[in-house]
Structure 1
Amino acid sequence: MARVAPPSSPPSPSPGPGAAAAADRSRAGRTRRARRPRRGAVLLAAAVLLPLPLLAGCSGGGGEEDDAEGPPAPRDIATVARAKVADRGTLTWAIDALPSTYNAFQADADAATQRVAGAVLPTLFTLDERGRPQRDPDYLVSAAVTQRRPRQVVVYKLNPKAVWGDGSAITAADFEAQWKALRGKDSAFWAAHNAGYDRIDRVERGADDREVKVTFAKSLADWPALFTPLYPKSVMGSGIAFNDSLRKEAPQAAGPFQVAARDDKQGTLTLARNPRWWGDRARLEKLVLRAVPRDQRVEALASGKADLAELTPAAAERIMKVTAAPKEKSDKDGRSPGLTGSRSPVTPPAGHPSVVGSPSAPGGRARPDGSRLDGANKPAAADVTALRGLVVRKSLEPAYTQLALNAASGPLADERVRRAIARAVDRKALAEYVLTPLGLPAQPLGSHLLVAGQPGYEDNSDAVGSVDPHAAMALLTDAGWKEGHGAAPGKKAADTGGVPGLGKGDDRDEDDDGDGGGDDQSNAGAVADGKAGHGTAYDNGGKAGAAPARFKDGKKLVLRFVLPKGSGAEPLRAVGERIARQLDAIGVRTELVAVDDGGFFKDHIANGDFDLALYGWPTGPYPATDARPVFAKPQPAADGSLVVEQNYTRVGTDQIDRLFDQASTELDDEASRDLIGRADARIWAVAASLPLYQRPELVGARRTVVNAGAFGLASPRYQDIGFER
């Protein structure tokens, strides 16, 4: 739970009745136009409330939601039937670092922790290609809401074959221990969150040890999110075991794999077949997780040190150049956007926002990953031999990159200024700039809570309005920020703030794309080192497409735009520079400040030391529960600080909180999704977070690797991963 010092001025008021009503009217009109008869969906919603066979799978039952379009970029995993997968072999999967803990419910759990948990521990509900929860029959015979009033009751019937690594059965006692550890009432357990578990009144044995009855004190729509992963009672039964034991020792396995060996010097964690596994036998004998820096992964794949690895776009391009990738289109200046364009952030640790981008460089320059392109974008001769036999799997992650606006104080505390920023940023152009060179669908994301293809996804961005620089400038004027008015004595309206070479006399290259800026490379110097907390004002006051600066009460409108400065973040900074030029076109100047990657989130975003920032958030199938702390209204604490949870933009409203609360307790799927959509429209209306684009998922793999790659919205099925016969 993050705290910040009280803002120097009151937070911006919640949107008035007009803004809120406009958001609701806009969404209601769209919904009325879009909806078809929902007989199938209604039947499904009714089934959720009754212990019917359909519910036992908790997997949907047709109707409009099932007929809706799937993800714009489906998973790309080289799907092969199990019979065609070799029943042997070792696959090495590159990861960022070995897990610092095997406890997925601790604050420092990361992506490696989640990967081990997925292969080793019970996952009661997995996700299908559209990100919908599906009952896993290896663990559950059924799972049903058997009662909704006066209290919600869920009954789980466990697979009688399910056992832990020591041979003991998985029972209701394990469920009860996990609830007690995570409900937030015992300070001995250092749990990172208790969402959902804090609503449970009791967990008890049902008809036998293999039946679990969970009674809720407050209804929970996202109940399938609970008890995944599930840990044994031996781990969850005491604070010492919960906090410390899983940092050193892996938990007892109850999945297709078990942890067999760890070598910290070599950076490897070996998972082997679990001899007590009762489900489909794992095709691989061993699955090795190897820590490989992202700038060394192409070499690791080419040399055989890795068989599967998430890649940066630059690294993916290296492989695709050799493996006959589709011909890239040139940008307006004749260069390939695939080589100079920005890239989305890399995958963050589980539960944490992403902070860095993926490296790329112009042809002929050494890339940050150590590769080099010769002359006219051709791969070096050595690459042609080394990279044969590899393929790039491509999809879109259930995560997005956003422009965050800190509304705690300063100009952005005024909702009109935030809405002006939103109307000036061309999200579609940015999505195309990032995704088109990769051959991925390039639509801007229209929701803060879901991604395209998930049930309930709807584009609610019209609640803030479409791109319109003239409307943006009118909003600034209405907020009191006027062109060239109120300048401090001795300064001219087009004053650059004392930054050399950025005034009207500046005759750098004219912008070639009409967005108020010039060549990306010519603006590289605009991003200043942020070690001392100072940057260089990015003021294109004299450039074509730039509007005169805005002033209010003698103060110039300049926003501090904080970005990470690591070698892998150049593309993210390139996106930031494009945004800066778009804002420059409405008279908003930006100060681009590059800071160390390690402190980007901790020292700047969490502490509120920014006006604008680019970072990413994951989405998931349970937005009513998981997304609430990201958009919850900050609350004052007894010591005078502000409790912001994960809402780093520091703006929220009572209406948004109520909609999340209602959605989280609504057991009718359709009604809950409607409430989530209404909450999203309100989030757009306050204009503190602007989703830009869904992040690309690029995975390099040996061509013989099957049932693995870019999983998109789906969960991996570890027992099916392997090599083609």
Structure 2
Amino acid sequence: MTRTNPPAAPLAGNRRGLSAAARAALALAVGAGALAACSSSSGGGAAGSAGVDVAAVSRAGVRDGGTLTWAVDEMPHTLNAFQADADDATSTVTGATLPAMFRLDAHGTPKLNTDYLADAKVTAQEPRQVVTYDLNPKAKWSDGRAIGVDDFTAQWKALGGKNTAFWTARNAGYDRIASISRGSDAHQVKVTFATPYADWRALFTPLYPKSVTGTPDAFNDGVRTRLPVTAGPFAVQGEDAKAGTVTLARSASWWGERAKLDRIVLTAVPQAQRPAQVAAGTLDVAALEPDQLSAVRAAKGVGVRKAPDAAYAQLALNGSTGPLADEKVRHAVARAIDRKKIAASVLKPLGLPDQPLGNHLVLPSQAGYADHSSALGSSGAEQAAALLADAGWQRSAATQGEKAAGPGRTAASGALTVVEPVRAAAKKGKDLTLRFVLPANSPTLDGVGQQIAQMLSAIGIRTEISKVDDDSFFQDHVASGDFDLALYSWPGTAYPATDDTPIFAKPVPAPDGSLAVAQNYSRVGTDQIDQLLARAGSELDASQARSLTNQADARIWAAAGSIPLYQRPEVVALRANVANAGAFGFQTPVYQNIGFRK
């Protein structure tokens, strides 16, 4: 029996600096645009290749007022970004209404957010690490109280992990804090860490008022559907569950540049209905699947923005049971997959960079990206077949005139497709068969899965492809370990040593005899990977931390539990008059600048 952390929803707030536990159910975000922010105009071009493609307009060119209608997958399950059921809609709400100490740029690099901070830096390393936050004196909550040390302290105590009455999805970073104190005045906060923490910039984003984080009742239930105290360019005006909307209204108490829009209305719209609603003007902004582009390209007054998303598609290999428990078989599967061909099939038609992904921890659009896939060794069917043979899986001799495997057969139920190799690899009279789980409603991943099945058939591996409903794909299959192969996505992060550790940590026995896997759903890990990521998370020298992260990634490749395929495309349709929105990739949106062109 294995134990996983709850398959939590993607972390809200600073979505592009996600925590690992609250990122887990992004495995459900299997479509190309599920993480998209918003967009406008047309074409990707150079902007897309740089990691962001937005319809940039100066504030002077954006008219004052108006309501922007923005499609989301569903109503937010909670407005608490640090709970397990936070989702992408939560992220959008908190990003527009709550403080973020750092923003991410197009390359996933944290930048000081001067709306809230005059400065923030490490001011001591001995005897302990101290980070000093100099707050913007103008920063205050909508109830008139200045943002200060009490808010930082309450959030630390809620998220630090010592008080289990707080239902938190993660404690990473907060559990390293030893104390928080007032600095030289009311606008300075000093945070002292018990152990060094390299990713300190990830903390206090979003920052909630002490009225939310001060008591378990307020934290657990008080802000599930309402957020009465805010500190951003927008405030939560209300939710309408029947209409499936959340309305954000311009905040009168905001001290920064005034929001251009009167309102942002987040509206739950099924993916299939979005092209028609954007074309009709019912929606202003909507993330799309790549196969929906043709439905909007010809629509009048509609544009498309495309960029590499802050997420990647990967093939998970369940190493806890069956043939894939043998590392040689996992390596054979990994070497048989032509990642370059797969990446080109998804990205080239969109005009996006189509190189395969060579890193689990850093994406190509991020600073510091490096390809470590060579740790797997030489790729190709010949090398892969030799590895299978070395693992005891032998193929029968070829017959004259033998042809490549065909497209396979479909079971009578229609739920199962079997791809049969012409010559199956077998051991002790049993064919090598892998159960391959795919989400039912992702045309992109369906096509990728079919390619992978054919590539595996070339080395004698039989695949049974099961397409399951999105609602059960993650919970009932991936998280529970009911698969051999599975295709899903993970979000990228600016803080890999913190956020990715639970994804690649070695599973450990729990007190009740189960196997605790955190978010490592491949169930493959090593002590060396754990040690390298732990060292990277404590290394305050950025170049040394990057070196350790690189070493960890090479070891993750060698373990062959997860095979990155490509950085996902972010495809967004929007009305042509929308300004300062688009395919943001890693970049944090500046909500007060979004609006409509004059």
Same fold (TM over 0.5): yes
1:721 aligns to 2:594 (yes or no): yes
Deviations 1:89-133 (A, max 9, x none): 111111111111100000000000000000000011001111100
Q: 2:300 aligns with which of 388, 404, 407?
A: 388
> Match for 2:487: what amino acid?
L
Match of 1:615 in 2: 488
SS at match of 1:648: coil
SS at match of 1:241: helix
1:129 aligns to 2:129 (yes or no): no
CA contact (8 A) 1:528 1:594 kept: no
Alpha-carbon distance in 2 for matches of 1:505, 1:308: 57
Alpha-carbon distance in 2 for matches of 1:288, 1:113: 13
Alpha-carbon distance in 2 for matches of 1:291, 1:667: 42
Alpha-carbon distance in 1 for matches of 2:145, 2:400: 78
CA contact (8 A) 2:290 2:444 kept: no
1:261 aligns to 2:173 (yes or no): no
Once the two structures are TM-superposed, the CA of residue 573 in structure 1 deviates from its matched residue by 2.1
Alpha-carbon distance in 1 for matches of 2:268, 2:549: 38
Match of 2:32 in 1: none
Match of 1:687 in 2: 560
CA contact (8 A) 1:157 1:210 kept: yes
Alpha-carbon distance in 1 for matches of 2:359, 2:49: 15
CA contact (8 A) 1:527 1:536 kept: no
Alpha-carbon distance in 2 for matches of 1:449, 1:317: 33
Match of 1:594 in 2: 467
CA contact (8 A) 1:529 1:593 kept: no
Alpha-carbon distance in 2 for matches of 1:526, 1:685: 35
CA contact (8 A) 1:92 1:306 kept: yes
Q: 2:449 aligns with which of 576, 581, 593?
A: 576
Q: 2:410 aligns with which of 525, 539, 561?
A: 525
1:462 aligns to 2:374 (yes or no): yes
> Match for 1:304: what amino acid?
G
Once the two structures are TM-superposed, the CA of residue 671 in structure 1 deviates from its matched residue by 0.5
Alpha-carbon distance in 2 for matches of 1:231, 1:621: 21
1:213 aligns to 2:94 (yes or no): no
- CA distance 1:251–1:477, change in 2 (3 Å): farther
CA contact (8 A) 1:456 1:674 kept: no
Match of 1:349 in 2: none
Alpha-carbon distance in 1 for matches of 2:252, 2:68: 18
Once the two structures are TM-superposed, the CA of residue 570 in structure 1 deviates from its matched residue by 3.5
Alpha-carbon distance in 1 for matches of 2:444, 2:48: 25
CA contact (8 A) 1:421 1:472 kept: yes
1:540 aligns to 2:421 (yes or no): yes
Alpha-carbon distance in 2 for matches of 1:300, 1:478: 56
Match of 1:300 in 2: 277
Match of 1:422 in 2: 334
Match of 2:79 in 1: 102
Alpha-carbon distance in 1 for matches of 2:145, 2:108: 32
CA contact (8 A) 1:235 1:251 kept: no
Alpha-carbon distance in 2 for matches of 1:96, 1:85: 27
- CA distance 1:114–1:2, change in 2 (3 Å): farther
> Match for 2:334: what amino acid?
A
Once the two structures are TM-superposed, the CA of residue 628 in structure 1 deviates from its matched residue by 0.3
Alpha-carbon distance in 2 for matches of 1:128, 1:183: 28
Q: 1:451 aligns with which of 342, 345, 363?
A: 363
Match of 2:35 in 1: none
Once the two structures are TM-superposed, the CA of residue 453 in structure 1 deviates from its matched residue by 2.6
Match of 2:428 in 1: 553
- CA distance 1:70–1:710, change in 2 (3 Å): closer
Root mean square deviation of aligned Cα:
2.0
Once the two structures are TM-superposed, the CA of residue 210 in structure 1 deviates from its matched residue by 1.3
CA contact (8 A) 1:310 1:697 kept: yes
Deviations 1:610-645 (A, max 9, x none): 111100100110000000000000000111100000
Alpha-carbon distance in 2 for matches of 1:130, 1:593: 36
Within-5 A mapping of 1:319-338: 319-320=296-297, 322=298
Match of 1:671 in 2: 544
Match of 1:3 in 2: 3
Q: Structure 1 residue runs of 4+, over 4 Å off?
A: 504-507, 526-530
- CA distance 1:698–1:517, change in 2 (3 Å): farther
Match of 1:86 in 2: 63
Structure 2 residue runs without a partner (length 5+): 5-45
- CA distance 1:628–1:529, change in 2 (3 Å): farther
Alpha-carbon distance in 2 for matches of 1:527, 1:451: 41
> Match for 1:480: what amino acid?
G
Once the two structures are TM-superposed, the CA of residue 696 in structure 1 deviates from its matched residue by 0.7
Match of 1:195 in 2: 172
Alpha-carbon distance in 2 for matches of 1:708, 1:124: 21
CA contact (8 A) 1:460 1:684 kept: yes
Alpha-carbon distance in 1 for matches of 2:291, 2:394: 42
Deviations 1:322-368 (A, max 9, x none): 2xxxxxxxxxxxxxxxxxxxxxxxxxxxxxxxxxxxxxxxxxxxxxx
Deviations 1:397-442 (A, max 9, x none): 0111101100001111111111111110000000111111112111
Alpha-carbon distance in 1 for matches of 2:122, 2:175: 18
Alpha-carbon distance in 2 for matches of 1:663, 1:139: 28
Alpha-carbon distance in 2 for matches of 1:406, 1:312: 27
CA contact (8 A) 2:80 2:223 kept: yes
Match of 2:437 in 1: 562
Alpha-carbon distance in 2 for matches of 1:600, 1:163: 43
Once the two structures are TM-superposed, the CA of residue 529 in structure 1 deviates from its matched residue by 5.1
Match of 2:20 in 1: none
> Match for 1:237: what amino acid?
G
1:476 aligns to 2:349 (yes or no): no
- CA distance 1:251–1:517, change in 2 (3 Å): farther
Once the two structures are TM-superposed, the CA of residue 461 in structure 1 deviates from its matched residue by 0.5
Of stretches 223-232 and 592-601 in structure 1, the one that deviates more from structure 2 is 592-601
Once the two structures are TM-superposed, the CA of residue 139 in structure 1 deviates from its matched residue by 0.2
Alpha-carbon distance in 2 for matches of 1:415, 1:288: 50
Higher strand share: 2
SS at match of 1:655: helix
Once the two structures are TM-superposed, the CA of residue 540 in structure 1 deviates from its matched residue by 3.2
Structure 1 residue runs without a partner (length 5+): 5-68, 323-386, 485-492, 495-503, 511-515, 542-547
**In percent, how many aligned pairs have the same letter?**
56
CA contact (8 A) 2:48 2:306 kept: no
Once the two structures are TM-superposed, the CA of residue 451 in structure 1 deviates from its matched residue by 0.6
- CA distance 1:135–1:526, change in 2 (3 Å): farther
Alpha-carbon distance in 2 for matches of 1:597, 1:269: 24
